[in-house]
Amino acid sequence: MAPYKDKPITKLYYSIGEVAKMFDVNTSLIRFWENEFDILKPKKNKKGNRLFTQKDVDNLKIIYHLVKERGFTLDGAKKKLRENKDDVIQNEQIVERLKEIRGFLVELRDNL
């Protein structure tokens, strides 16, 4: 019988503050992007607080990548998402993986 393994804990919902911290941006920018990009659809609780799912966070990663890392205007980012969202997702994932590899290599160099 296989030993019990803890599954990584994942949250169902993230607050706007948690999401803003993930991207190191103000909550006002998250609210602004929510109004600008129709792929962001956070749920709201009875108090009106936004509850972001992992899918919302993934979509924010794509928006952040286009606007903050690649320098797209909001209109340019919207157009790119409409035209070819799959390519944008793949590109963002490649950039994220390259950052991880770079971090590993820098750490390795520093430990030599």
Question: How confident is the model at residue 100, as a pLDDT?
Answer: 86
pTM higher than 0.85? no
Q: How is domain 16-110 classified at the architecture level of CATH?
A: Orthogonal Bundle (1.10)
| Per-residue model confidence as pLDDT tens for the chain (112 residues) | 555 555 566 788 999 999 999 999 999 999 999 999 988 989 999 999 999 999 999 899 889 988 998 899 999 999 888 887 667 767 777 777 888 888 889 998 898 8
54 — phi, psi (to 5°)? Answer: -60, -35
- The residue extents of the domains of the chain are 16-110
Question: How confident is the model at residue 46, as a pLDDT?
Answer: 92
